[in-house]
Amino acid sequence: MPTDVPQEKLSIEENATQCDSMTLPSTPTVRRGSTPLPIKHQLRREEAVHDDCEWTSGAAGPSVSPLSFSPALDDTPTVAVEGRHDGPLRIALLGQNGVGKSSLALAFAGDMDRTASVDSDGEGYIRTVTVDDEESAIIIYDNWRQDLSVLQCEACILVFSVTDRRSFHRTAQLRLLLRETQPQTPIILVGNKSDLVRTREVTSQEAMSSAALFNCLYLEISASLDHRTPELLECAVRLARGQPPWPPGTSAEDMCGGGQRESITSRAKRFLSSLVPRYPRERDVGKFLRQKSRSCHDLGAL
Ligand SMILES: Nc1nc2c(ncn2[C@@H]2O[C@H](COP(=O)(O)OP(=O)(O)OP(=O)(O)O)[C@@H](O)[C@H]2O)c(=O)[nH]1
pLDDT tens per residue across span 186-224: 999 999 999 999 999 999 999 999 999 888 899 999 999
Model confidence at 133, pLDDT cuts 50, 70, 90, reads: very high
Interhelix angle 165-181/12-23, rounded to 10 degrees, is 110
Q: How far is CA 301 from the centre of its chain?
A: 57
Q: Of 2-6, 29-33, 116-120, 156-160, where does mean pLDDT reach its minimum?
A: 29-33
Q: How far apart are CA 139 and CA 116, in angstroms?
A: 9
Q: Give the pocket of ligand 1 (CB within 6 Å).
A: 97-103, 192-193, 195-196, 222-224
**Nearest atom, ligand 1, residue 95 CA:** 19
* Ligand 1 center from residue 154 Cα (angstroms): 24
CATH 3.40.50.300 fits 89-256, yes or no: yes
From residue 236, alpha-carbon distances to 25, 138, 178, 277 in Å are 31, 10, 16, 47
Mean pLDDT of 34-60: 36
Element (H, E) at 212: helix 204-213
Closest by CA to 42, choosing from 167, 143, 156, 177, is 177
Closest by CA to 244, choosing from 91, 72, 69, is 72
* Ligand 1 center from residue 172 Cα (angstroms): 20
Helix, strand, coil percent values for the chain (each to nearest 5): 35, 15, 50
* Ligand 1 center from residue 132 Cα (angstroms): 29
- Please tell me which of 119-123, 260-264, 270-274 the model is most confident about, judged by mean pLDDT: 270-274
Most distant pair of Cα atoms in the chain: their distance: 91
Q: How far apart are CA 20 and CA 173, in angstroms?
A: 7
Q: How far apart are CA 52 and CA 60, in angstroms?
A: 21
More confident: 125 or 188: 188
**Nearest atom, ligand 1, residue 159 CA:** 19
* Ligand 1 center from residue 194 Cα (angstroms): 12
Mutate which of 50, 103, 190, 221 for ligand 1? The one with the most ligand atoms within 8 Å of its CB, which is 103
Checking ipTM against 0.95, whether it exceeds it is: yes
* Ligand 1 center from residue 169 Cα (angstroms): 18
Length in residues, the chain:
302
Q: Give, using CA atoms, the residue closest to atom 25 of ligand 1.
A: 97
More confident: 94 or 64: 94
Closest by CA to 49, choosing from 119, 148, 120, is 148
Quick check: 157 and 174 in contact, CB under 8 A? Answer: no
* Ligand 1 center from residue 33 Cα (angstroms): 30
**Nearest atom, ligand 1, residue 103 CA:** 15
